[in-house]
Amino acid sequence: MAENFSEHKSVLIKNGVIVGSKKPAVDILIENGVIKEIGNVTNHPTDIHIVDLKGAYVSPGWADIHVHLREPGREDEETISSGSDAAMAGGFTAVCCMPNTNPPLDSEDMITSIKERAVGHLVKVYPIGTVSKERKGEELAEIGNMVEAGAVGFSDDGDPVYDDALMRIALEYSKMFGVPIVNHSEVRSLAKGGVMNEGAVSARLGIPGIPSHAEDIMVARDIRLIELTNGRLHVPHISSIETLELVRRAKAKGLAVTCEVTPHHLSLTDTNFEKFDAAYKVNPPLRTEEDIDALRNGLADGTIDCIASDHAPHSPEENEADLLDAPFGLVGLETAFGVCVVNLLDTKVLNLEQLIEKLSAAPRKIYNLPPAEIKVGKNANMTFFDITTEWKVDSSQFLSQSRNTPYEGMTLKGKVLGVVNGNKVYQAD
């Protein structure tokens, strides 16, 4: 685990402003990982670890429900340990990891092994299992056994569940077990060969495009299938106006659909491809200003439930390849909050309480994760941060093992100061 990490029987968080409370700064006393007292704490053990927040914010610990940890298979890009370190530096106390590893997380044993490897870290890792055996999109994986082993949802992310009958059965299972099916929404034949958003910019640059209807046609199918099955659908990394509209209508009908948006789809457009840099190559692709505006409105009006990074580490060799051959994906755990402050808070799309809800309570609810609450008697699970410090993205400082960020050199705002989970504490420099 990263430096700046420590474990203590007793911890005193001093002078923190709890997001959403009308009160000024308070102290929070933690004993054996449990919140003992909130207020002006004067009476505490002498042998205690003190974190003085000097008036910075404290909120329930954030959860990133869409990360790729690359273990097993590509430990050169990320491991459960390095990815969890990156999560902690980004302010997250929990992550859900996607199963497109090598081999994929498609069995009880694989789920158990991820959980075992994550033990002892501050960040709680919740594995997502595959929908299909070997992630081949043909036969349903052992969903029941994986739920029993601790899988919190199911996805073939990176690829869609393109077989309609398989998706239908998966949704039947999601109803039975009360877990979401998370379908990477992409009609392959429409997206095939594409590298960036299909539109005026791709036409001008002569780069093959991925049309937004490759996303919304798949989501339309999935929504029809939850109507038939009463299953639970979670739409990951929503990127376009049309998809948003489909989710909005499905929610109005009372269907069990939730969705997430990434910080990059809220902040970057396809015009970045003018730099011919694979750091901007992500799937679904960066779209247009109009899409960004719609997605921001969708977050504000509750159509979009939460924010998730889709942290997708890739090696420098792969990323420096020709644009057409470079893999899709970018790292996002350590820039997520700074991007949100600049693009959602400073622009007044969300207020601070709403932003924190989208990073903490809402994502936890989608996967039935235990809630993080700042209340006496609850397990300590908190994030400390400010919303004013400006900082320049320098990927050489990332705790992630990978550096493929589109925000390199950019000034972001809002510093994560630390996290606590039980008796484990991480404090940023």
The SS3 call for residue 251 is: helix
In whole angstroms, what is the distance from residue 93 CA to residue 112 CA? 20
Q: Return the number of the residue (279 or 416) whose C-beta is nearest ligand DOR.
A: 279
Under rule CB under 6 A, residue 130 binds ligand DOR = no
| DSSP type of residue 311 | B
* Residues 147-206 close enough to bind ligand DOR by CB under 6 A: 157-158, 184
Binding ligand DOR (rule: CB under 6 A), the pick from 68, 74, 287, 403 is 68
In whole angstroms, what is the distance from residue 285 CA to residue 291 CA? 11
Q: Which residues contact 279 (CB under 8 A, 6 or more apart)?
A: 319, 330, 404, 405, 406, 408
In whole angstroms, what is the distance from residue 402 CA to residue 395 CA? 8
Residue that the structure tokens 């093959």 belong to: 208
Q: Determine whether 85 is an active site residue.
A: no
Under rule CB under 6 A, residue 312 binds ligand DOR = yes
In whole angstroms, what is the distance from residue 309 CA to residue 359 CA? 10
Nearest approach in angstroms of CB 259 to ligand DOR is 14
Q: Return the number of the residue (122 or 182) whose C-beta is nearest ligand DOR.
A: 182
Under rule CB under 6 A, residue 77 binds ligand DOR = no
Q: Return the number of the residue (81 or 155) whose C-beta is nearest ligand DOR.
A: 155
Nearest approach in angstroms of CB 68 to ligand DOR is 5
65: enclosing H helix or E strand? strand 62-67
Which candidate in 159, 277, 310, 429 is catalytic? 310
Interacting span for ligand DOR (CB under 6 A) from 123-131, 148-156, 326-334, 394-402: 326-334
By rule CB under 6 A, what string of x and - marks binding of each residue 275-294 to ligand DOR? -------xx-----------
Which string of DSSP letters, residue by residue, matches 84-144?
HHHHHHTTEEEEEE-S-SSS-S-SHHHHHHHHHHHTTSSSEEEE-B-SBGGG-SSSB--HH
Alpha helices of 206-305 — where are they, by DSSP H?
Answer: 213-229, 241-252, 289-300
Nearest approach in angstroms of CB 424 to ligand DOR is 28
By rule CB under 6 A, what string of x and - marks binding of each residue 85-114 to ligand DOR? ---------------x--------------
Please give the radius of gyration of the chain, using alpha carbons only, rounded to the nearest integer.
21
Nearest approach in angstroms of CB 282 to ligand DOR is 4
Q: Return the number of the residue (180 or 327) whose C-beta is nearest ligand DOR.
A: 327
**Total number of residues that touch ligand DOR (CB under 6 A):** 11
Interacting span for ligand DOR (CB under 6 A) from 5-13, 299-307, 327-335, 391-399: 327-335
Q: Angle between the 241-252 and 213-229 helix axes, to the nearest 10 degrees? A: 20
Check: CB of residue 399 under 8 Å from CB of residue 88: yes
Nearest approach in angstroms of CB 281 to ligand DOR is 8
In whole angstroms, what is the distance from residue 10 CA to residue 70 CA? 35
Binding ligand DOR (rule: CB under 6 A), the pick from 329, 338, 363, 406 is 329
Nearest approach in angstroms of CB 168 to ligand DOR is 22
Contacting residues toward ligand DOR, per CB under 6 A: 68, 100, 157-158, 184, 282-283, 312, 327-329
Catalytic residues: 310
